[in-house]
Structure 1
Amino acid sequence: MTPASMHSDQDKKGDALKTQRFQMLEDIAKELSGEVIFPTYFDAVMRLRKVLQDPAQSISGIAAAVAIEPLISAKLLHLANSVAFNPQGREVVDLKSAIARLGVNAVRTAALSIVMTQLLRAKGMAAFSEITHALWEHSIRTAAAARIIAKTASRLNSDEAMLAGLIHDLGAFYMLYRATQYEELRERPDSVKYLIIQWHESIGASLLNAIGIPEEIVDATIDHDRIRPTPDPIRNLQEVIYVANMLADGHFEWLMQDQQKSPEELTVLNEKYGHLIPEIDALAKEMHASFS
């Protein structure tokens, strides 16, 4: 047995690790069944939640709420003037115009992207830096892919698809953040990935519901990494997210399980939708500039 495999076995089977993994899941379950306690920088999203959920809210009202958060305001202006949202090159310089151009889902996307980038920088997250940065890269690419797929391969709302793509793995980010609070897990970061594989979707769905994400988007994130036949044509948001997830190096979760060979279904998917990858790469680059 190699040192690496011994380390992996210890990560999976060590009694102390088992205890802390169970404790973390138990603590998360309690938290998600009551009032979710977010890191402080979730406050911006929580404050915006009611405003963004109100269908009667005016653009002026949304702009007033967003203006309280300078970082979100700056990100929205940057995004509104990006090529993806401003192909004619008409620059906007005020929040009201930016929000009118982007739409409510893009406001949610910008707010949540800030939360996710702040999670990467949270105290204790350095121990999980490899996983968190891979997750962030994957999330950005999935969001870009979802927007492109919705525009070109379906008649679905591309802004809603982009938001769903960005947050489809939010449960994994949240689990990593919670793992920083347990010493044994910080010292054995490889151990945490086994929990993520098994639990990030169900925890993510509960978390997204807790922060007021629309049910249709939450449902679209479920089973996103379950390998299945390639949808053709793409009929709903869940299928958009599945294809986007897989095009955006979507076997990320598959590789986390130490499976080196991609399933045959992914070959079929790439043959059908792989021509979109250059456009996805270009949009992902723009999104990095807007959200980072």
Structure 2
Amino acid sequence: MNRLEAFKSIAAQAGRGELTFPTNVDATLKLQKALNDPDCHAEAAARLVQAEPLLAARTVAIANSVAYNRSGSEITNVRTGVQRVGFRTLNALVAAVIVRQLDTKIKNPALRAMANQLWQHSAHVAALSQVIARRVTHVDPDTAMFAGIVHEVGGFYLLSRAEEYPGLLDGEPEEWANFGEIEIGRCVLQKLGVPNAVMEAIEAMWSGMRALPPENLGDTLLLANDLSPIESPLHQRPGATTKQAAVTIDFAVGDGTLQSILEESADEVRSLTSALL
């Protein structure tokens, strides 16, 4: 089976709803459903989060990040962390756990290295999206961070299946975008219950079309993706590194510029990225 046939096979399975997830993903999806229940209050949410060590650690870390800890008062428990970050951010953190769980069954060192790079890229995009949303486009920052976390979930799913299809990732990274990203990515996003507004923003990013200055969630996500210092191993840009491309992106924002905002927000981006990693 060649690469194109392998992409088509995985996409066809995904289209039929035949998605192969590690067992721990199914458990976290149940947790996600429980947290999304309108009757789930903060105390119940804290108990649910405490039962998942990785989620508990990330919740406290995000709550202590510069973006959420404006007072500088460090917290050390999940209950206070849940109260500080709120349910929308908590939903983004659950998504982060699910995305990371997709690569738990990867044994091949080269594939694990790609998955680690992909997560570093996603964490940077999520942090940049949160700041750009709050300071530039004025869309909901928590939704923007969530979109950044899940925007490469199709790629994680592909990596999780790659050992079943030898040679799947040989060749040019752009072939993933051309042959598999939309079909596979959309199915995985639907399985994870990603809201339509976020789906539309990610699809806009796939198309590569954005406005400058950015105006909406899709623009926010695409700009954050372009500014990320870590490239996706599945989407290498021809002819220029991310850093070289990013320094050319600037525009006026009120009395400042994008670059001045990024400089002012550098600590927030670093803090958020570190908490997600």
Determine if the TM-score, normalized by the shorter chain, exceeds 0.5.
Answer: yes
Report if the CA contact (8 A) 1:179-1:192 is conserved.
Answer: no
Q: How does 1:166-185 map to 2 (within 5 A)?
A: 166-185=149-168
Distance in 2 (CA, whole Å) between partners of 1:229 and 1:71 is 35
Aligned pairs for 1:46-57 within 5 A = 46-57=29-40
> In structure 2, what is the Cα distance between the partners aligned to 1:175 and 1:248?
21
Q: CA deviation at 1:94?
A: 3.3
Counterparts of 1:251 and 1:123 in 2: how far apart (Å)? 20
Alignment partners' CA distance in 2, 1:112 and 1:229: 25
The structure whose residues are more often helix, as a share, is 1
RMSD: 3.0
Gaps of at least 5 residues in structure 2 are 252-257
Query: In the superposition, relative to structure 1, how do residues 95 and 179 fare at CA in structure 2: closer, same or farther (>3 Å)?
Result: same
The 3-state SS of whatever aligns with 1:260 is: coil
- Bigger Rg, structure 1 or 2: 1
Deviations 1:105-129 (A, max 9, x none): 3222222323333445533342324
1:114 matched residue in structure 2: 97
In 1, Cα distance between equivalents of 2:234 and 2:99: 22
Residue in 2 that maps onto 1:282? 267
> Over residues 74-96 of structure 1, what are the superposed CA-to-partner deviations in whole Å (9 max), with x where a residue is unaligned?
22112212222112122333323
Q: Give the deviation of 1:65 after TM superposition.
A: 2.3
Q: Deviations over 1:158-208 (max 9, x none)?
A: 1111111121111111111111222343xxx43373442222244222211
User: 1:218 and 2:199 equivalent?
Assistant: yes
Residues 210 and 222, structure 2, Cα contact 8 Å, conserved in 1: no
CA contact (8 A) 2:176 2:234 kept: no
Question: Is 1:101 equivalent to 2:84 in the alignment?
Answer: yes
Any idea what SS the aligned residue of 1:223 has? helix
1:31 is aligned with what amino acid?
A: A
Contact (CA 8 Å) 2:32, 2:94: kept in 1 or not?
no
1:126 and 1:278, CA in 2 relative to 1: closer, same or farther beyond 3 A?
Answer: farther
Calculate percent identity across the aligned residue pairs.
25
**Counterpart AA for 2:22:** P
Equivalent position to 2:236, from 252, 256, 272: 256
What is aligned with 1:190?
170
Contact 1:144/1:280 (CA < 8 Å) preserved in 2? no
Is the aligned partner of 1:271 residue 2:254? Answer: no
Separation in 2, partners of 1:230, 1:253: 25
What do residues 29-84 of structure 1 show as CA deviations (whole Å, max 9, x unaligned)? 32342253311231343112212332343222322322221221122112212222
Task: Output the CA distance in 2 between the equivalents of 1:205 and 1:36.
Answer: 12
Summarize the Cα distance change of 1:256–1:76 in structure 2 as closer, same or farther, 3 Å threshold: same
- Which structure ranks higher in relative contact order (CA pairs < 8 Å, sequence separation ≥ 6)? 2
Does structure 2 retain, via aligned residues, the 8 Å contact 1:224–1:242? Answer: yes
In structure 2, C-alpha distance between the alignment counterparts of 1:251 and 1:290, rounded to whole Å: 19
Structure 2 Cα separation of the partners of residues 34 and 252 of structure 1: 26
Residue 245 (structure 1) aligns with: 225
Cα distance between partner residues in 2 of 1:126 and 1:192: 19
Q: Is the 8 A contact 1:85 1:102 kept in 2?
A: yes
Q: Is the 8 A contact 1:225 1:245 kept in 2?
A: no
Residues 1-292 of structure 1: matches in 2 within 5 Å?
Answer: 16-18=1-3, 21-34=4-17, 36-185=19-168, 189-191=169-171, 193-198=173-178, 199-228=180-209, 230-232=211-213, 234-249=214-229, 256=236, 259-261=238-240, 270-272=249-251, 273-278=258-263, 281-292=266-277
Query: Which structure 1 segments of 5+ residues have no match?
Result: 1-15
Distance (whole Å) between structure 2 residues aligned to residue 250 and residue 95 of structure 1: 30
Contact map agreement 1:225 1:251 (CA 8 A) in 2? no
In the alignment, is the contact (CA less than 8 A) between 1:114 and 1:291 conserved in 2? no
* Offset at residue 262 of structure 1 (A): 7.9
Q: Call closer, same or farther: CA 1:280–1:121 in 2, change over 3 Å.
A: farther
The 2-side partners of 1:271 and 1:202 are apart by 33
Paired with 1:80 and 1:174, the residues of 2 have a C-alpha distance of: 29
Distance 2:274 2:62 in 1: 9
2: distance between equivalents of 1:98 and 1:267?
A: 34
